[in-house]
């Protein structure tokens, strides 16, 4: 991995709960992850109003639209598939040498988070 590359334990389409900020307690699906900035977009959380100019070329009308803003990754926690409560994430490594597989596991229940 290149120097300065950051990795996020949370991935796109994960179910998360917001644990801090004005949207605390909201649950949603992760729409986008930006590991370099340490931020995520969660469906229905961190809504902002954006004034958008009409663009007839893209067939888009103008007005005020509501969209999700980025939240800090530290303000969201993954939902345990077993209990539905917030959990941390750990990795389990199986196999040795070139046959190693790394799977994400819920720290609370030990249940795998891979689909």
The mean pLDDT values, 10 residues at a time, for the chain of 115 residues are 75 96 96 94 96 93 94 95 93 90 93 85
* Domain containing residue 34: CATH number: 2.30.30.30
Q: Specify the pLDDT at position 3.
A: 63
On whether both 54 and 75 belong to a single domain, the answer is: yes
On whether both 15 and 69 belong to a single domain, the answer is: yes
On whether both 89 and 73 belong to a single domain, the answer is: no
Q: Specify the pLDDT at position 13.
A: 95
Q: Specify the pLDDT at position 5.
A: 73
First-to-last alpha carbon distance for the chain, in angstroms, is: 25
Q: Specify the pLDDT at position 108.
A: 92
Q: Domain of 110?
A: 85-115
Q: Specify the pLDDT at position 97.
A: 87
On whether both 68 and 89 belong to a single domain, the answer is: no
Q: Specify the pLDDT at position 7.
A: 85
pTM for this entry: 0.83
How many whole angstroms separate alpha carbon 94 and alpha carbon 115?
17
On whether both 12 and 67 belong to a single domain, the answer is: yes
Q: Specify the pLDDT at position 4.
A: 65
Q: How many domains does the chain have?
A: 2
Residues with Cβ within 8 Å of residue 18, at least 6 apart in sequence: 24, 25, 26, 27, 28, 42, 45, 46, 71, 75, 76
On whether both 27 and 5 belong to a single domain, the answer is: yes
Q: Specify the pLDDT at position 115.
A: 72
């Amino acid at each position: 991995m290149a120097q300065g590359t950051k990795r996020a334990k949370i991935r796109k389409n994960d179910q998360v709960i917001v644990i801090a900020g004005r949207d605390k307690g909201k649950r949603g699906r992760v729409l986008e992850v930006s590991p370099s900035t340490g931020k995520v977009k969660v469906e229905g959380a961190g809504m902002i109003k954006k004034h958008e100019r009409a663009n007839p070329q893209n067939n888009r009308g103008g007005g005020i639209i509501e969209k999700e803003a980025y939240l800090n990754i530290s303000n969201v926690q993954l939902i345990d598939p077993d209990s539905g409560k917030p959990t941390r994430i750990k990795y389990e490594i199986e196999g040795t040498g070139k046959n190693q597989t790394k799977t994400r596991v819920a720290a609370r229940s030990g249940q795998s988070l891979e689909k």
